[in-house]
Chains A and B, each alone.
Chain A
Amino acid sequence: MKAAQFEQHEPETVEEAVSLLESLDDRAILAGGQSMVPMLRFRLAVPETVIDINQIDALDYLEEDNDWLRIGALARHADVEHADVIQEKYGSFADAAPLVADPQIRNRGTVAGAVAQADPKGDWGSVLLAHEGEVVAHGPDGERTIPADEFFLLPYDTTLDENELLTELRVPTPAAHEGSAYHKLKRKVGDYAMAGSAARLVLDDDGRIERAGIGLTAVDITNVRATDAEDHLEGERPGSDLFKRAGELAAEQSNPESDEHGDAGYKERMVNVLTQRALGDAAERAGLVKRRVTQ
């Protein structure tokens, strides 16, 4: 099916985009288009105007400063996949990137667009939650930041205001002893997750878990944090018994639906397994960081 007719704007600055959002009633933002183009084609979205943000060069970045890893709104999945800083320091991002869709889609789709899309089956929301990341938004009143766990409301619905442009995703730079990982179960390569789990562990100098973050994919109405499991982990030493219990708690807190890929009980068991694996990898990676530091 063809998309309905629309008018097209290509702002070159964030300010221009925001003023278009403010002045136009019936409009949609187009980033990588990997979700939006099919929505327009199926006429699930029938906006009068499409605001294509791909010309806003200032949003095309992926960089790390002292405090944050910053992912600009035009950074593509493939940019994350191939960035050295990601491979070296952000295990969960490095795990997740090549598991998102397929190479062609990763060349076009943006990480920010996937987060804005707020598909509960999307992978990046879980990673962002596990890292206690933030969403940076620009609106008519300027810039504001939204903590990841206040961002997702419902499937395809977020706390981003109508007139706001998501400009950046950011997560804190890793602590001295930190590791993270992402595990995803899918029916075949290139598919959305049947279930997924992102884990981040920050250890103190003693090797105890100071902070734990777990984000789950495709097992609730949004990407969600497994807070019971996080609480159970904090203050303890990493270990397989501890992770086993955390996996069970994550599964209990998850809320999957039965579908053609598996029933809810199966998916809960998968949440348990995937969470244990992600925690295991995260702990190992945190340990590696520690060994490197103390050598």
Chain B
Amino acid sequence: MTDTREITLTVNGTEHTIEVEPRQLLVHAIREELDLTGTHIGCDTGNCGACTVLRDGEPIKSCLMFATQADGSDLMTVEGMEDLPEAGGELHPLQEGFREEHGLQCGYCTPGMIMAGKALLDENPNPSEADIREAISGNLCRCTGYQNIVRSIEYAAEELEHGEIAAADGGVAIDADANADGEFDCGVENCCGGPAAEGDGDGDRGSDPASRGERR
């Protein structure tokens, strides 16, 4: 008896309609049906947080929810981070932060950490260290000892707060305020006065199975 149901998930801005069994977990639907393998599975018990995604803006553990229960919701996974305006077509400041501050070693926990960090910064753009530690308290990391993860999120908060945009080379941060005259052009689409993208909505979103979150 395989009784399946049709559900619609909007993931990183792209709507997907898929057939799932009632027993299928959301995390499996995301990874196996949508090929978005940036969202990880680290445990069987809801303890590790590697599977954290945003559902209608709230962080949840996608291994503790059936896919059918997410029918009609708006999901964001780590693959969506680079499409956000703050990313300026490059790494999102959070991703940048993890690189700059060595917020990852093996990287297994990173997608979950980034989504937990994103949820925090959406709510509280100027978090204290305690706020950050609380926000990632549902996420386990076996490598870093958390110190650098906290710094990575602090880095992103700082960068977002001061309107700094990651430079095209991904290394040096450029202060947007200093370029308020709009003269500077970093060459990235929709950034620093660069060429405006046309029709770049969902074209390549969600369909690229190679996820940024897993790449490094």
Interface residues of A (CB under 8 A from B): 1-8, 30, 33-34, 37-38, 40-42, 50, 52, 54, 78, 98, 101-105, 107-108, 189-190
B residues 79-111 near A (Cβ < 8 Å) are none
Shortest distance between the CB of A108 and any CB in chain B (Å): 5
Contact with A along B44-73 (1 / 0, CB 8 A): 111101001000001111011110110000
Interface residues of B (CB under 8 A from A): 1-3, 5, 21-23, 25, 44-47, 49, 52, 58-61, 63-66, 68-69, 116, 119, 133-135, 137-139
Q: Are A108 and B49 in contact (CB under 8 A)?
A: no
Question: Please, which residues of chain B bring their CB within 8 A of the CB of A1?
Answer: 44
Listed A/B pairs (23) with beta-carbon separation below 8 Å:
A1-B44, A2-B23, A3-B23, A5-B21, A6-B22, A7-B22, A8-B5, A33-B65, A34-B46, A37-B25, A37-B46, A37-B63, A37-B64, A38-B46, A52-B68, A78-B58, A102-B138, A103-B119, A104-B61, A104-B64, A108-B65, A189-B134, A190-B47
Which residue in chain A gives the minimum CB-CB distance to B58?
A: A107
Q: Are A105 and B61 in contact (CB under 8 A)?
A: yes
Q: Could you say which of B21, B23, B61, B137 contacts A189, with CB atoms under 8 Å apart?
A: B137
Which residue in chain A gives the minimum CB-CB distance to B137?
A: A189
Shortest distance between the CB of A140 and any CB in chain B (Å): 26
Which residue in chain B gives the minimum CB-CB distance to A42?
A: B44
Bound-state Cα–Cα, A189 to B61, Å: 17
Bound-state Cα–Cα, A160 to B52, Å: 33
Q: Are B3 and A7 in contact (CB under 8 A)?
A: yes
Q: Could you say which of A3, A8, A101 contacts B138, with CB atoms under 8 Å apart?
A: A101
Q: Are A8 and B44 in contact (CB under 8 A)?
A: no
Q: Are B23 and A34 in contact (CB under 8 A)?
A: no
Question: Please, which residues of chain B bring their CB within 8 A of the CB of A42?
Answer: 44
Shortest distance between the CB of B145 and any CB in chain A (Å): 13
Q: Are B23 and A5 in contact (CB under 8 A)?
A: yes
Given A5-B2, A5-B21, A5-B23, is A102 in contact with B137 using a C-beta cutoff of 8 Å? yes
Q: Are B22 and A107 in contact (CB under 8 A)?
A: no
Q: Are A190 and B65 in contact (CB under 8 A)?
A: no
* Sample of 18 further A-B pairs with CB below 8 A, known A5-B23, A108-B64: A1-B44, A5-B2, A5-B3, A6-B22, A7-B22, A30-B66, A33-B69, A38-B64, A41-B25, A41-B44, A50-B22, A52-B68, A102-B139, A103-B138, A104-B49, A104-B116, A189-B134, A190-B137
